[in-house]
Chain A
Amino acid sequence: MCTTCGCGGEARLEHQPHSHAHPDQGPARPGRRRISLEQSLLAKNDALAALNRQAFLARGILALNLVSSPGSGKTTLLEQTILRLRGRVPVVVIEGDQQTSQDADRIRAAGAPAIQINTGKGCHLDAHMVGHAFESLAPAEGTVLMIENVGNLVCPAAFDLGEAHKVVILSVTEGEDKPLKYPDMFAAADLMLLNKVDLLPHVRFDMERCLGYARRVNPAMEVLRVSAQSGEGLEGWIHWIEAHRPSLQKA
């Protein structure tokens, strides 16, 4: 029995939704009444996310929730990040995809422990899945935990995983209006990585307009321009990661 979430099972990374069915509800009693709840639909997820956050902080772990549409270059960016941090900062990765373990294989090949969560039909990771994946990975103190969410700019916005920051990745091949089309995601992120800037000469992408849209949705969001392919701007991203690692003394 899982002691944190009470799900009654071992880490179930091939996630099945829990039914927690109540087989016998008993006979209905007379006397209808109204119960006031005022409870968020996300209450359960948020409670588990809070436990994850505590566990991360206690071990001085920086957890980043990487969100983007499919094909933004998240996995390539992660590979390059791992290579650049190698020998200095331990990195582990939780990979979320509906199917296949190809991304986790790529991350392991780059030199970081990785665990794949297949969400099946699910369109996002939740705090419960991440909590169990974290237990299985059992990362060392001071590790950077990268959580690569399912490629989707809608659903992952609502689900807190316990991360320190959401990082949204937008590639310049996608068009500059993404922040307005998916405002919830851009509003939830602390950092936007504008990826594939090496392709700027070849695509129609109005950088100033994109930054203007991003500011309109989230004035506080930081922006870094990078190319995982050419390496441009990656030093700034690596510096950002190092600057945001929690100190162990605080824990």
Chain B
Amino acid sequence: MHELSLMEGLVQGIQEEALHQKFTRVHHVRLEVGRLAGVEVEALRFAFGPATEGTLMEGAHLEILERPGQGVCQACGQEVEVETRFDLCPVCGEGFVAITSGTELRVKDLDVD
């Protein structure tokens, strides 16, 4: 359940940002989370409440944009979508897939005032 410490990191980062960019309230947070990022989206949602309690983010709406896993087949060279790090190429059925994206774990933007 490292999702809670990830969410605490999120709050810390945004608190620092609030000082630089001079905002006092966060209404909406958009996260990008890749399917291969090694986190459970539901656990992130669950951790958001306790992690933001008593902060400028308390009560904010959390929107999670899920990103697919993508890679290049080492056998046939096709760009393909994968569900796991070890899927064989869905096109040729043989090659290992070198992952090119799907490990995103970042704050995209915030609505603040």
A192 CB, nearest partner CB in chain B, Å = 15
A13 near B: Cβ within 8 Å?
no
Tell me if A22 and B111 are in contact (CB < 8 A).
Answer: no
Whether, in the assembled complex, A30 has its beta carbon less than 8 Å from a beta carbon of chain B, the answer is yes
Interface: A221 (CB within 8 A):
no
A115 within 8 A of B: no
- Of A18, A21, A39, A122, chain B has the most CB atoms within 10 Å of the CB of A39
Q: For the complex, give the distance between the alpha carbons of A20 and B14 in Å.
A: 11
Tell me if A32 and B86 are in contact (CB < 8 A). Answer: no
Per the bound structure, the CA–CA distance linking A29 and B22 in Å amounts to: 10
Contact with A along B8-30 (1 / 0, CB 8 A): 11101111011001011101000
Closest Cβ of chain A to B102, distance in Å, is: 12
Please indicate the chain A residues that have their CB under 8 angstroms from the CB of B17 in the complex: 35, 37, 39
Contact B9 A45 (CB under 8 A): yes
Contact call A37/B109, Cβ cutoff below 8 A: yes
Which of A32, A39, A41, A187 is the one whose CB lies under 8 Å from B6? A41
How far, in angstroms, from A32 to B5 measured CA to CA in the complex? Answer: 28
Taking the complex as formed, is B100 at the interface, i.e. its CB lies under 8 A from any CB of chain A?
no
Question: Hey, which chain A residues are within 8 Å of B85, CB to CB?
Answer: 183-184, 187, 217
Q: How large is the interface on B (under 10, 10 to 19, 20 to 34, 35 or more residues)?
A: 35 or more
Residue of B nearest to A188 (CB): B38
Closest B residue to A25 using CB positions = B24
A213 at the interface (CB under 8 A from B): yes
Residues of A within 8 A of B8 (CB): 17
Interface size on A, residues (CB 8 A): 45
Judge whether A219 and B96 touch: CB under 8 Å.
Answer: yes
CA distance A21 to B111 in the complex (A): 20
Check A124/B113 contact, CB under 8 A, given A35-B17, A154-B38, A158-B38: no
Counting CB contacts under 8 A, is B84 at the interface? Answer: yes
Contacts of B25 in A (CB 8 A): 25, 28
Query: Would A20 and B113 be within 8 Å (CB), given that A36-B108, A42-B6, A42-B105 are in contact?
Result: no
A25 engages B56 (CB within 8 Å): yes
Cβ contact of A155, chosen from B1, B54, B55, cutoff 8 A: B1
> Which B residues from 35 to 90 make CB contacts under 8 A with A?
36, 38-39, 54-56, 84-86
Could you list some 27 contacts between A and B, CB below 8 A? A20-B12, A20-B15, A22-B15, A22-B55, A25-B56, A27-B24, A28-B24, A32-B27, A35-B23, A35-B110, A35-B111, A35-B112, A36-B109, A37-B13, A37-B14, A37-B106, A37-B107, A40-B105, A42-B105, A122-B5, A154-B2, A155-B1, A183-B85, A187-B85, A213-B86, A216-B96, A217-B85
Residues of A participating in the B interface, judged by any CB pair closer than 8 Å: 17-22, 25-45, 122-124, 126, 154-155, 157-159, 179-180, 183-184, 187, 213, 216-217, 219
17 other A-B residue contacts (CB within 8 Å) besides A20-B12, A183-B84: A25-B24, A33-B111, A34-B110, A34-B112, A35-B110, A36-B109, A37-B106, A38-B108, A41-B6, A41-B107, A43-B13, A44-B12, A122-B5, A123-B1, A154-B2, A155-B1, A219-B96
Closest 3 pairs (CB-CB, A-B): A155-B2, A184-B38, A183-B85
